[in-house]
A and B are shown apart, each in its own frame.
Chain A
Amino acid sequence: MGRQATEMLKGTLEGIVLAILSTRAAYGYEITAWLREQGFSDIAEGTIYALLVRIEQRGLVDVAKVPSEKGPPRKVYSLNAQGREYLEEFWKTWAFLTERLEQLRQGGDQA
């Protein structure tokens, strides 16, 4: 993944993670693994963790501690109502951004 892709990804990572969590609950490692599979190979697991801490603090996810056979209990994150609202907002912003960028590519906004 190039520098440019990494920089762009930074601004959208929160939305991406919330979108993943809107389909099913997951723990940190699963989210990172999924992102790597999708080709987002440069993302540090620590960075994803920092993001999960943030969305938990902001009340966008519910967290359940699930015991695991080895190691400490896993924190499983699922999107709650507030998180869904926030994700909705993210998609609106995303639509706005892509529309404007597409206009730019097509030769500028005539208005």
Chain B
Amino acid sequence: MTREPDESKSRYLKYLEVVTGSLDEKRRYRQYKARIKQLPENYRIAVEALERYLMHFGPVDGAGAMEMYEDLADLFEQSVSDGTPIRDLFGDDPVEFVEAFIQNYPAGQYRARERARFTNAVARAAGEEDGTV
């Protein structure tokens, strides 16, 4: 049941989403969690550890985050089906893998704001025009 964003949403739904956040994103997240549940235990343990890392350092909000979770589920399902060992999947340094992965998605609001603040502060300190966001 795919829905065109916004167009068919009733006013009530729109109001509700102001209060609860995007229902579409919540639905996608639930679907993602259901896919992860289906994985063999050792893969699931690894994904859950990865999720914890993403909660701290990954993009945590918006449609970009949902895309990220869905891409992750694709990877793990494929790896299970190919019989790729956990270590081959994550490599010797799992942090390196996850950081390369995170780069593909828009930074969460917190990170984006702080990056902009830092960049602008340097521009002002360098005496360049416009240091405002």
Contact = CB atoms under 8 A, between A and B. Distances in A.
A71 B82 contact: yes
Contacts of A49: 75, 101
B81 A57 contact: no
Contacts of A42: 91-92
Interface residues of A, number: 21
Given A51-B100, A54-B104, A46 B78 contact: no
Contacts of B78: 28-29, 71-72, 74
A47 B95 CA distance: 10
B103 interface: yes
Interface in A57-111: 57, 68, 70-72, 74-75
A72 B90 contact: no
B104 A44 contact: no
B54 to A, nearest CB: 13
A43 interface: yes
Contact of B104 (A29, A32, A57, A75): A57
A44 B98 CA distance: 11
Interface in B71-97: 71, 74-75, 77-82, 84, 88-92, 94, 96-97
Contact of B81 (A54, A71, A75): A71
A72 B76 CA distance: 10
Contacts of A44: 88-92, 94, 96-97
A38 B103 CA distance: 27
B106 to A, nearest CB: 11
Given A44-B89, A47-B97, A71 B104 contact: no
A70 B100 CA distance: 29
A50 B77 contact: no
Interface of A: 28-29, 32, 42-47, 49-51, 53-54, 57, 68, 70-72, 74-75
Interface of B: 71, 74-75, 77-82, 84, 88-92, 94, 96-98, 100-101, 103-104
Which 3 A-B pairs rank lowest in CB-CB distance, beginning with the nearest? A44-B91, A71-B81, A46-B97
